[in-house]
Amino acid sequence: MVNARKRFGAASVRARAFAGATYLSYVALAIGVGASPTLAQSADRAAAKTSAAGDPDARARDALAQMTAEEKRGLLYGSFPMLLAPAKRPAGVASGAGIVTGVPRLGIPMQVQTDASLGVNNIGQRKGDVATSMPSGLLQASTWDPAVVEAGGRMIASEARQKGFNVMLAGGVNLVRDPRAGRNFEYLGEDPLLAGTLVGHQILGIQSANIISTIKHFALNDQETGRNVHSVNMGEAAMRESDLLAFQIGIEIGNPGSVMCSYNRINQVYACENKFLLTDVLRKDWGYKGYVMSDWGAVQSVNALTAGLDQQSGEQVDVKRWFTKELDVALSNGSVPASAIDVAALRILRSMYATGVIDHPLEPTPIDYASNGKVARATAAAGIVLLKNEGNVLPVAQTASRIAVIGGHADVGVISGGGSSQVTPVGGWKLQVRSGTGLAAMISRKSYGGTAPLDAIRAAFPQAQVTFDDGTDVARAASVAKAADVVIVLAEKWATEAEDHADTSLPDGQDTLIETLAAANPRTVVALQVGNPVQMPWAGKVPAIISLWFPGQEGASAFADVLSGKVNPSGHLPVTFPASVTQLPLTKVPGSDAPAADKMTRATYGINADTKPFDFSYPEGSDAGYRWFDAKKEQPAYAFGHGLSYTTFKYDGLKATGGKTLAATFTVTNTGNREGAAVPQVYVRAPGKAKRLIGWAKPMLRPGESKTVTVTADPRVIGSFDEKAHRWVVTPGTYVVELGYSATDTAATANVKMQRQTRKP
Ligand code: BGC
């Protein structure tokens, strides 16, 4: 595990982009970026919080004992406020994704729920309401920095609370398995350890504001096509070693008050009535004590209650009011025992006590958007990924006198992903364009807001003449490019909930535009605003490529700081950029050619039954992302873990030890002439298996400075899940340890001998 003192000297931490008091409060946290001790340290913090709330189990039992049957029932379902008749909407209560009745006489408040992971979604709020819009999940994951992600969680939760919400539907951690999946931008990448660690810290941040965070969408809801009808068929071991592991780690670190079950079926059984997932795995194996809420419109029967679902969300958007009217029927015919209500109500109450929702009543207060914006900007600065920088074309010198900015509505704002995670940024939308098809077109718009890249670039290069061309006329744009010292092209591909991409290419002729600009000016820099990896057939023809993902309302300022060199980029890819779709496990998105449903059977919010039910399985099993590429010996365009800096680093002195515990110690040196943060990564190949990330660090180093890092492997990431033994097993043998700059760029390797060991599920 990471040697805290050596890795993060106070001076180096203070020198980071997050200078000042806000960042320093996270110093204590920044000591654990690697594997198992991070889990232990963080779990301790979550436990300490629980005990500060008294004994939440005892308090919940006490409250339950005083409640009437009706009051208990009230906790078990929520309403979608926008579908309530105005007269039925509770006065003075914020309108978001849901409300759940409280028990005022016992001091139990109403649960007021809002989306989501990227800030307070304001769909239900009065017109003109805004919130700080954070960079997308993929950008946050590109920071590889739990402290940064936690700071973001803390900020968005403080806004949620100030706006009158005490439950955030944040904590999306579905794994990126396919770069065409529409919601990947919300999530934290393809690796269970990285994604699980980061989501755990996001939840810690959110719950520090005394509100409940969820972790979602449990489980294997990794694509949008047919999300309400498809079944992902996967063996238990593969599930436990991939998607479920991300949830398991996230829950251990963050201890979220709630888990949200997903729309899809898993091995034929709908997630929200999947006893294997909700009871056997979540409760029995993982000891989870919070409650399970459904995704909006994801409940299929009243039996969900006995399978492990505790709360039906937004009951109007389900096919039936399962936990009210249908539950009455089930109770009277005995198919659901009355005790099931107590079990569910108790879990909900417990989370309300454990997170402090009950002890800290909501009192909406004014929001300091200026200081929250700094959190969004610092996050973007830490996660922007420099993919290519040939001939050190970046940073752009302050002596550049003519800069051409082209495309991507760079004169308007930055693009954001669509759907329930979307946040109307401070300043409001500057441009909204109808896009998408079907449900996606109904629920979202391609929207631009926040600081415009053009304005940010002008501010960062005050001496330069910065011209803009929208890129719609390729010849005109090329002549603008020709006249410039440097060209910055903003390429974009919008993504949204409820729709997957048909392919991985940039739309609307942008490849031709970029090729033409590169031919007109060899100093052409491409910045991608994308929710997924994309194909870049022109990559060899431009000297520099930057991934901004969807960078949030302050992303353009962070981008301009990277261009000018004020920020030294330190983002690293949390996903693989394939060189071609033929390298992917599946050449098409499953269900993309499934027969259309006879009718939109359940055309309500979140329900997208526009195809007939279909089943599929992932050929890669637990080997998602870089592991599949490793197993198949395929070379990606840009590998998982890749990211450049304006300085250079050397990783050496690798010493690995085995036995019962696998540990790797090595030295990281800044060999360039700028201060910067490295992200050394350690991968392990267990006998006969594809490589796997076991830990990393993000030390900040001054020129010439060295730090020693130790990373220790959690047995779950080097072991396999043995279904028969119902345990994790590390098999004895020789394991290859790789210290790398990315999943494909290895600095050193070492062999260790491991002894057999096992661990509970
Ligand atoms: C999404 C969830 C979201 C919920 C409430 C659903 O469509 O899948 O992520 O929290 O809506 O808005």
What pTM value is reported for the model?
A: 0.94
Of residues 51 and 666, the one with the higher pLDDT is: 666
- Domains annotated for the chain, with CATH where assigned, are 68-354 (3.20.20.300), 384-564 (3.40.50.1700), 649-759 (2.60.40.10)
pLDDT category at 443 given cuts 50, 70, 90 is confident
Q: Which single residue is written with the structure tokens 């914006």?
A: 373
**Separation of 610 CA from ligand 1 center, angstroms?**
18
The residue-averaged pLDDT of 708-737 equals: 98
**Separation of 427 CA from ligand 1 center, angstroms?**
25
pLDDT at position 23 is 25
Is the Cα torsion angle 392, 396, 401, 405 positive or negative in sign?
positive
Residue of 100, 114, 115 with the most ligand 1 atoms within 8 Å of its CB, for mutation: 115
In this model, does residue 694 exceed pLDDT 80?
A: yes
Structure tokens given for 298:
């994801």
**Separation of 678 CA from ligand 1 center, angstroms?**
36
Mean residue pLDDT of the chain comes to: 91
In this model, does residue 293 exceed pLDDT 60?
A: yes
Structure tokens given for 709:
């890092």
* Amino acid letter, residue 243: D
* Cβ-proximal residues to 688 (8 Å cutoff; 6+ apart), any chain: none
The residue-averaged pLDDT of 129-153 equals: 98
The CA distances from residue 328 to 70, 271, 297, 302, 324, in Å, are: 12, 23, 20, 10, 6
Is the Cβ atom of 341 under 6 angstroms away from ligand 1?
no
Beta bridge partners of 530: 493
| CA 262 to ligand 1: nearest atom | 8
Is the Cβ atom of 295 under 6 angstroms away from ligand 1?
yes
pLDDT tens digits for 357-377?
999 999 889 999 999 999 999
Residue of 99, 420, 607, 608 with the most ligand 1 atoms within 8 Å of its CB, for mutation: 420
Q: Is the peptide bond before 53 cis (omega within 30 degrees of 0)?
A: no
| CA 420 to ligand 1: nearest atom | 12
Q: Which single residue is written with the structure tokens 């637990």?
A: 622
State the DSSP code for 290. S
pLDDT at position 8 is 25
Helix pair 453-460, 555-564: axis angle to 10 deg: 40
**Separation of 181 CA from ligand 1 center, angstroms?**
16
User: How far is residue 652's CA from residue 749's CA, in Å, rounded to a whole number?
Assistant: 10
* Amino acid letter, residue 266: I
User: How far is residue 539's CA from residue 643's CA, in Å, rounded to a whole number?
Assistant: 15
Is the Cβ atom of 115 under 6 angstroms away from ligand 1?
yes
In this model, does residue 398 exceed pLDDT 60?
A: yes
| Ordered strands of the 733-740 beta sheet | 692-696, 681-685, 733-740, 746-754
**Separation of 193 CA from ligand 1 center, angstroms?**
24
pLDDT category at 216 given cuts 50, 70, 90 is very high
Is the Cβ atom of 271 under 6 angstroms away from ligand 1?
no
| CA 216 to ligand 1: nearest atom | 9
pLDDT category at 611 given cuts 50, 70, 90 is confident
Is the Cβ atom of 186 under 6 angstroms away from ligand 1?
no
Residue nearest to atom 7 of ligand 1 (CA): 606
Is the Cβ atom of 182 under 6 angstroms away from ligand 1?
no
pLDDT category at 41 given cuts 50, 70, 90 is low
**Separation of 7 CA from ligand 1 center, angstroms?**
39
User: How far is residue 711's CA from residue 736's CA, in Å, rounded to a whole number?
Assistant: 14
pLDDT tens digits for 501-528?
999 999 999 999 999 999 999 999 999 9
User: How far is residue 192's CA from residue 200's CA, in Å, rounded to a whole number?
Assistant: 12
Residue nearest to atom 9 of ligand 1 (CA): 420
Structure tokens given for 83:
């579908």
Asked if 470 and 411 count as a contact pair (C-beta separation under 8 A), the reply is yes
**Separation of 196 CA from ligand 1 center, angstroms?**
20
Q: Which of 407-411, 607-611, 748-752 has the lowest mean pLDDT?
A: 607-611
* Helix, strand, coil share (%) of the chain residues, nearest 5: 30, 20, 45
Q: To the nearest whole percent, how much of the chain has pLDDT over 90?
A: 85
pLDDT tens digits for 656-687?
999 999 999 999 999 999 999 999 999 999 99
In this model, does residue 217 exceed pLDDT 80?
A: yes
